[in-house]
Amino acid sequence: MFERLKWLLPALTLILALGLMSVGSRHLGRGSALSAAALEVVGPVERFLVASAGAVEDFWLGYFYLVDLRRENEALRERLRQQGQQLTEHGELRAANERLTSLLSLRQAYPQVVMKAAHVLAWDPGPWFRSIVISVGSDDGVAVDQAVVHGQGAVGRVIEVTPNYARVLLATDFNSSIDAFVQRTRAVGIVGGQGARPMYMKYVRQDEDVRPGDLVVTSGLDGAFPRGLALGTVTRVNRQSADIFVAVEVSPAVAFDRLEEVLVVTNQGEPIDWLSLGPRLRPLVEDAEEAHRRLGLIEENRPPAAVSGESAR
């Protein structure tokens, strides 16, 4: 019963107020007591209704504004995500372009050498046996013992081949050995790995001039690697040993853990026939010697340099 009265009384009050508003509007301007009473009663009700209508209007406007704002926020988020993805793709394309440009420069430096490009597909998980799997095989002309190189320098040697894939032993592996020399002094040796950084250069005589900072490059004497590829930089020279050879530590030039593309040397090209070039080179050598004599750099009685098999005899 009480619940019904709680809702009935406000409803009756509202009906009464509306009736008084109707009566007051018909007697508006007559100054009657009924009109004044109606105005006194209806005024607060009208104020409440106007305020309520304003509040409802503000609520709906705010609601629709928030809905639009949410949609706009979602659109901006999606646009930001797409732009972030585009920036990532552009960064990858720029990095790939730099890597491929490095490989192209290496090809241009050795125009007579035939090289096959390959992607690095996998790494050997072992801590000691350092090798990678690349995306070319015997169907692409790849064979065992062929050199694998990179724009930064020598990478390793092919040790296993299938029709479509090949395994490469990295220069940092214990079983790796590459003929090399110190670029500054031409001191020869063999660079091998230790399973990780750094590498070492062995069979370097104690009397050779080798210093930290010297660049070590491939000599080309092993018949696999082109001459002059960077192997690394000398970081330490130990002459304390009683051995006839000095211990030389070499920091690799190639970042092996970041390799993505490499080149396989499938053919080093035709060897240079120095004997056939002798007759063409001899006039140039004689002209150079004559110029040196005029400058006093060569003794008059010194025999001319031999540039061919016949001249050497």
pLDDT tens track for 274-292 = 556 566 666 766 777 777 6
The answer on pLDDT for 100 being more than 50 is yes
Confidence tier at 313 by pLDDT (50, 70, 90): very low
* Greatest mean pLDDT range, 24-38, 93-107, 158-172, 248-262: 158-172
Could you count the other beta carbons within 10 Å of the beta carbon of residue 56? Answer: 10
Judge whether residue 307 has pLDDT over 50.
no
Distance, in Å, from the CA atom of 130 to the CA atom of 185, rounded to the nearest integer, reads 30
Q: Is residue 253's pLDDT more than 80?
A: yes
Query: Rounded CA gap, 123 and 138, in Å?
Result: 20
The torsion region of residue 113 among left (phi > 0), alpha (psi -120 to 50) and beta comes to: beta
Q: Report yes or no: 44 and 16 within 8 Å, Cβ to Cβ.
A: no
pTM given for the model = 0.58
Which CA distances in Å does 35 have to 13, 26, 89, 244? 18, 9, 78, 127
What is the CB neighbour count within 10 angstroms for residue 183?
14
For the chain, how big is the Rg over CA atoms in Å? 45
**Pair of tokens at residue 290:** 């004559």
Over 70: is that where the pLDDT of 58 sits? no
For residue 169, the number of C-alpha atoms closer than 13 Å in the C-beta half-sphere is 19
Among 150, 127, 157, 163, which residue's Cα sits nearest to residue 261? 150
The confidence score (pLDDT) of residue 62 equals: 64
